[in-house]
Amino acid sequence: MRRGTAQTYHEQPMLAKSRGTATTSKRPPSKGTRNGSAPRAVAVLGATGTVGQRFIQLLESHPWFYVAEVLASDQSAGKTYAEALGGRWKLSTRIPERVAGLKVKGPGEKLRSAILFSSLDASVAGELEESYARQGHLVSSNSRNHRLDPWVPLVIPEVNRDHIELLDKQSYNGGGILTNPNCAAIVLVMALAPLHRAFGVESVIVTTFQATSGAGYPGVPSLDILGNVIPFIAGEEPKMETETNKILGRMGSRGIESAGIAVSAQCHRVPVLDGHLEAVSVKLKRKASLKALIAALREFRPLDRLPLPSAPAEPLHVRDEDDRPQPRLDVDRASGMGVTVGRIRPCAVLDWKFDALGHNTIRGAAGAAILNAELLAHAGRV
């Protein structure tokens, strides 16, 4: 797939386009389109996991970056990437051939790529990411460990790209850590951002229906999730409540000032493969008509002038049907980088209610981290 502008990324679903077509070249790509410069080597930490595999898939034909190094636990280290996976590759595209043959590095091993994408298990991400940042690497992380650190940007480029300035306050010897939100929080915040900008959001009640792939691999046992709904995801509700306020907060002299929005979240795991669906009720600070509300969502195009390859042309898509969005039908919109909103209607308790849906391992994880790195590369920060 040709990429390089928001429009080309949006043109057709990447998964359908690349299904079954492995990359045959073992050499790094020879040309890129970022100011005419060659693609840059990047490393994926936690490359064998659910999110790590998405990184490998999404970076396969990326115009600015190519995967030069992969890292996972000691049990994978020393094997080729394909051997380490040993049948755990769970995507419908094939493992890119050039990456399949890369030798997996172990935790702490020296890396030469300037940009590291991290989808490490949270039990090890904290220390390892810091250690690599201290060695001068820029770590774009999915893991929860540093998201709420006062000097670590928690960024959605469409919403709060000014927060990347926090990187200047980090003391990592030239390196740094940048994070993207929790996979459920990002769907909520993408939908709230234009409403907050136009009318101010006062309070939010959100109930989530979260895909099983959000729990990693092997994740929730099949006998627990099939034909069932589990009304608990450890640590998820506080993440939605606090991350929302950091992302929608303002840069202050002592870090981010919370947006002060009262958020009440109830999170559920459902037997859906990919895609977090969320039922949201919202109270606004200023009155809004239904027409104004829909216009704010539809006109949300904050990255129009930034040529970031992974940025969807239409980050929010509003559907009019009574029964959309649905994970199976809408999750791959804009190659998994778009959030779909529907069922916008008055709420008898707060002001308005609606449903929002996003792809948890693309917009909610690997795609989000790649878009953040593109933002830094475009800003000349890496």
Active-site residues, by number, are 183, 276
Least separation in angstroms between CB 92 and ligand NAP: 17
DSSP state of 210: E
Cα atoms in the Cβ-side hemisphere of radius 13 Å centred on 220:
25
CB atoms within 10 A of CB 33: 15
Least separation in angstroms between CB 2 and ligand NAP: 27
Q: Which stretch binds ligand NAP (CB under 6 A): 16-24, 28-36, 122-130, 247-255?
A: 122-130
Least separation in angstroms between CB 263 and ligand NAP: 18
Least separation in angstroms between CB 42 and ligand NAP: 16
Least separation in angstroms between CB 60 and ligand NAP: 17
Q: How far apart are CA 28 and CA 26, in angstroms?
A: 7
Q: How many DSSP H helices and E strands does the chain contain?
A: 13, 14
> 32, 39, 52, 336: which one contacts ligand NAP (CB under 6 A)?
52
The token duo for 213 is 């792939």
CB-CB contact of 19 with 50 (8 Å): no
* Binding flags for ligand NAP, 200-239, as an x/- string (CB under 6 A): -------------xx-xx----------------------
* Binding flags for ligand NAP, 305-344, as an x/- string (CB under 6 A): ----------------------------------------
Least separation in angstroms between CB 205 and ligand NAP: 23
> 43, 100, 115, 120: which one contacts ligand NAP (CB under 6 A)?
120
Provide the strand spans (E) within 216-305: 250-252, 255-257, 262-269, 276-284
Counting contacts by CB under 6 A, is residue 183 touching ligand NAP?
A: yes
> 4, 13, 29, 107: which one contacts ligand NAP (CB under 6 A)?
107
CB-CB contact of 86 with 72 (8 Å): no
Q: Largest Cα–Cα distance in the chain?
A: 60
- DSSP 3-state assignment of 83? helix
The token duo for 41 is 């080597």
> 18, 93, 113, 142: which one contacts ligand NAP (CB under 6 A)?
142
- DSSP 3-state assignment of 120? coil
Q: Which stretch binds ligand NAP (CB under 6 A): 57-65, 307-315, 342-350, 360-368?
A: 360-368
Q: How far apart are CA 367 and CA 66, in angstroms?
A: 14
Counting contacts by CB under 6 A, is residue 72 touching ligand NAP?
A: yes
Cα atoms in the Cβ-side hemisphere of radius 13 Å centred on 212:
18
CB-CB contact of 26 with 95 (8 Å): no
Chain residues in the site for ligand NAP (CB under 6 A): 46-52, 72-73, 75-76, 107, 119-122, 124-125, 142-144, 183, 213-214, 216-217, 360-361, 364-365
